Structure 1
Amino acid sequence: MICTRRHALWLIGGATATCAVTRSSGAQTVINVEMRGSARGERVWFDPLGLSVAPGSTIRFTNRDPGNSHTVTAYHPKFYDRMRRIPAAADPWDSDCLLPDAYSEVTLTAPGVYDYYCLPHEMAAMVGRSVVGTPADAGWEGASEDQSDVSDQVLEALPLAQEIIAKGNIKRKDRS
């Protein structure tokens, strides 16, 4: 579910704006990733920026930065003609702009490495990587080798898939 400004405006007129998560009767794993920023706004990041999850896990991206809107956008030709940096069998996603405290969820089912970014803050290296499953899983697709449409700063910010698998998640390192 995506709760964006467009949805909030639609709800104005007496209704209470609420972001609800609908769950099926089966258990569903929801992992939280926060979008953060420093007090003055000079740094922005996903926390954690590296995440290891099982296939079928849902990731909830929540904007916890009171001073900025953010997106979570998969690297994929469907969005802004970017090179694909998610498994071929995966559905690409774009959250649209998320205002503070709004969230977007995506369920990752195809095993492999998923790279994503914040559209207005990619050049500030606001990127993240999720690893779904392990290289032993059928259909596994590793990190993209294509480096033609991402900066060196972005590539440097993305943790290695092996490191993510070994640690489970990787928090932002303060690079002050």
Structure 2
Amino acid sequence: MQGNTDGSQVWFDPVGLHVEPGQTIRWINLDPGNSHTATAYHPKNFERPRRIPEGAEPWDSDYLLPNESFSVTLAVEGIYDFYCVPHEHAGMVGRIIVGQPGRSSATSVSAQAAGGEAIPEIALQAFPPIDEIMRQGIVRRT
């Protein structure tokens, strides 16, 4: 979790990550001027659309102050989209791919957006492409 000194831009770095099932992901707020969250897109989190695999547990870090961290272990293969609650409208989103999700997982990401409050267009445009994450393993903010 990062941001520039005047707070005009905020982002996750990396924005895309490929991991194996059972791996633990840790977010650290390295932005000295803002609090952030790492929150899974799921109806249990503020009635947002589900954009994590069926059977996966949603998470919400709550607000992390500078230098605070939050971890989650992802066991279910698939595509996990997440966002920062106060900065989603600034495009602060990320994507984690766990294992080797099949084609149905890749095509269901858009279907998972149904229901709940609409995801802002700027956030939808900020997700890195699935094939790019699979090819590179890690996608940094450009």
TM over 0.5, yes or no? yes
The answer to whether the aligner puts 1:116 opposite 2:82 as a matched pair is: yes
- Aligned twin of 1:99: 65
Q: Give the count of matched residue pairs.
A: 137
Shift of 1:130: 0.3
Partners in 2 of 1:135 and 1:94 — Cα distance?
23
**Matching residue of 2:105:** 141
**SS of 2:105 mapped into structure 1:** coil
Question: Which amino acid is the alignment partner of residue 49 of structure 2?
Answer: M
Aligned to 1:169: 138
Report the structure, 1 or 2, having the larger helix content.
2
Match of 1:4 in 2: none
Specify the alignment match of 1:156 in structure 2. Answer: 125
Identity over the aligned pairs, expressed in percent? Answer: 51
| Structure 1 runs (4+) greater than 2 angstroms displaced | 140-143
Whose radius of gyration is greater, 1 or 2?
1
1:56 aligns with 2:22: yes
Q: Which runs of 5+ in 2 are unaligned?
A: none
Residue of structure 2 in register with 1:81 after alignment:
47
CA distance in 2, matches of 1:74, 1:127: 10
Q: Higher relative contact order by CA 8 Å / sep ≥ 6: 1 or 2?
A: 2
What does residue 42 of structure 1 align with? 8
Relative to the length of structure 1, the TM-score reads 0.74
- Residue type matched to 2:15 in 1? L
